[in-house]
């Protein structure tokens, strides 16, 4: 049977900002015709940073050009560079390794927990040497890393803790928001994230005001914001856009409702898919501390078969990180030759993510679940 376009369930929603199109155009005109002609790091960015501080209770929120740039700025602000090592998870997004290498330091890859798919604190501890300067765990898909153990480990060993919480906005663990367990953390605003926007952007969050001030200078070529053309540090161009700041301020009012809808969809998926373990499909549990509704990911023994089955039914699925970081051509030369990451490899082999965005209809969500179940039942016959 041929699936018509109107019945398809895309993985990345093509109409993500359709309801705000007119507002975005109005804001573009407003900023473009404003007499002050301030297009970056203006009063709208300052208001957006203030709103983010209020939302997270962070002492500092420094808006910058992307989540990747936010990690780069943190590493630079901490003085991490040549001769240093930073422990990162072997399974995850490329910036976990590339930002460390760009700083001149070396990424040391730790294996992951098989359930949360985040950095295993025990393996991370075994990798600490006298060159280790920082731990950089990342929250993954919809689950926060074991930040209490990692925080304790960093404190015990005198290390910095950098929290890659780029996709975890809205998550909290033991009452502490994602991004504030580390000495510094990040959020990303790329369009598919929980608080995404039609462009690139990110923020550095920290309760260390001195570190936050240094990040603030580094994002704008090392200037302090009061004395233009006075450069205190060798910095970066990682400035935030005024149109996007205004647009995010507009969309912040609906953030809680959009996040709640994403959470509702995740809960429905888990409730309907929790009994498929014997069919080779493991779904995350419903809710729980340290959860956030960014991407809904299954582990499936026949991932390629499930993906093909869903595609035939008009449902797009997505595979993140099919190759672990230390086996990527860009990073393999920097990985320890005796490295062993079996659980990261297993996650790379099994993970598959289902559509998740706030304006999925109930009918679309039910259809996704029904087709996953149909595949599972076919395998068990």
**H-state helical runs in 37-185:** 43-56, 67-77, 95-102, 121-126, 147-157
> Where is pLDDT greater, at 194 or 7?
194
Reference 68, options 233, 195, 219; nearest CA is 219
- Taking the model in full, what pTM does it have? 0.94
pLDDT of 4 reads: 46
- The Cα–Cα gap between 241 and 131 comes to 37
Given a contact cutoff of 8 angstroms between Cβ atoms, the answer to whether 329 and 381 are in contact is no
Reference 308, options 96, 300, 158; nearest CA is 300
CA 344, chain centre distance (Å): 18
% of the chain with per-residue pLDDT over 70: 97
Given a contact cutoff of 8 angstroms between Cβ atoms, the answer to whether 351 and 112 are in contact is no
The domains of the chain are located at 20-252, 255-380
- The Cα–Cα gap between 66 and 63 comes to 9
- The Cα–Cα gap between 33 and 163 comes to 39
Give residue for tokens 């499936």.
300
Domain with residues 20-252, CATH architecture = 3-Layer(aba) Sandwich (3.40)
Phi, psi of 117 (to 5 degrees): 65, 20
Domain with residues 255-380, CATH architecture = Alpha-Beta Complex (3.90)
pLDDT of 380 reads: 66
Q: Which two tokens stand for residue 361?
A: 């209809």
What is the secondary structure of 203-247 as a DSSP string?
A: EEEES-HHHHHHHHHHTBTTB-SSSTT-BSS---B-PPBHHHHHH
Per-residue pLDDT at 228 exceeds 60 = yes
- The Cα–Cα gap between 237 and 374 comes to 50
- The Cα–Cα gap between 117 and 140 comes to 7
- The Cα–Cα gap between 313 and 117 comes to 29
* Helix (H), strand (E) counts: the chain: 12, 12
pLDDT of 263 reads: 96
Per-residue pLDDT at 8 exceeds 90 = no
- The Cα–Cα gap between 68 and 81 comes to 17
Q: How high does pLDDT run on average in the chain?
A: 95
Torsion angle defined by CA atoms of residues 366, 368, 370 and 373, in that order, rounded to the nearest 10 degrees = -140
What mean pLDDT is predicted for residues 326-340? Answer: 95
Reference 108, options 95, 96, 118, 116; nearest CA is 96
Contacts of residue 61, defined as CB under 8 A and 6 or more positions apart, other chains included, come to: 49, 50, 52, 53, 203, 204, 205
The string of pLDDT tens digits covering residues 169-196 is: 999 999 999 999 999 999 999 999 999 9
pLDDT of 5 reads: 43
Per-residue pLDDT at 105 exceeds 90 = yes
- The Cα–Cα gap between 284 and 61 comes to 31
């Amino acid at each position: 049977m041929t699936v018509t376009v109107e019945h398809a369930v895309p993985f990345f929603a093509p109409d993500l900002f359709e309801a705000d199109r007119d507002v975005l155009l109005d804001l573009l005109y407003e900023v473009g015709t404003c007499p002050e002609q301030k297009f970056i790091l203006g009063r709208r960015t300052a208001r957006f940073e203030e709103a983010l501080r209020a939302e997270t209770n962070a002492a500092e929120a420094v808006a910058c050009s992307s989540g990747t740039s936010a990690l780069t700025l943190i590493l630079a602000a901490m003085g991490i560079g040549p001769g240093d090592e930073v422990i990162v998870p072997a399974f995850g997004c490329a910036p976990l390794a590339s930002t460390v290498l760009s700083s001149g330091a070396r990424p040391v890859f730790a294996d992951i927990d098989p359930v949360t798919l985040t950095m295993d604190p025990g393996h991370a501890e075994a990798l600490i040497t006298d060159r280790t300067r920082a731990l950089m765990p990342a929250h993954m898909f919809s689950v926060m890393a074991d930040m209490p153990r990692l925080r304790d480990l960093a404190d015990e060993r005198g290390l910095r803790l950098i929290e890659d919480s780029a996709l975890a906005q809205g998550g909290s663990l033991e009452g502490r928001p994602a991004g504030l367990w580390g000495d510094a953390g990040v959020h990303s605003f790329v369009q598919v994230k929980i608080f995404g926007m039609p462009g690139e952007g990110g923020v550095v969050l920290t309760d260390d005001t001195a570190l936050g001030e240094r990040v603030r200078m580094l994002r704008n070529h090392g200037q302090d914001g009061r004395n233009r053309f006075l450069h205190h540090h060798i910095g970066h161009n990682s400035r935030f856009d005024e149109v996007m700041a205004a647009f995010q301020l507009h969309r912040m009012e609906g953030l809680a409702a959009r996040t709640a809808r994403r959470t509702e969809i995740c809960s429905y998926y888990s409730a309907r898919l929790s009994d498929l373990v014997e069919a080779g499909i493991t779904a995350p549990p419903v809710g729980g501390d340290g959860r956030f509704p960014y991407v809904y990911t299954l582990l499936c023994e026949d991932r390629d078969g499930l993906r093909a089955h869903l595609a035939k039914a008009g449902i797009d699925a997505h595979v993140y990180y099919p190759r672990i970081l230390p086996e990527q051509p860009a990073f393999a030369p920097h990985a320890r030759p005796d490295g062993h990451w079996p659980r990261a490899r297993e996650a790379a082999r099994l993970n598959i993510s289902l559509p998740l965005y706030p304006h999925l209809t109930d009918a679309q969500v039910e259809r996704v679940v029904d087709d996953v179940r149909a595949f599972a039942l076919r395998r068990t016959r």
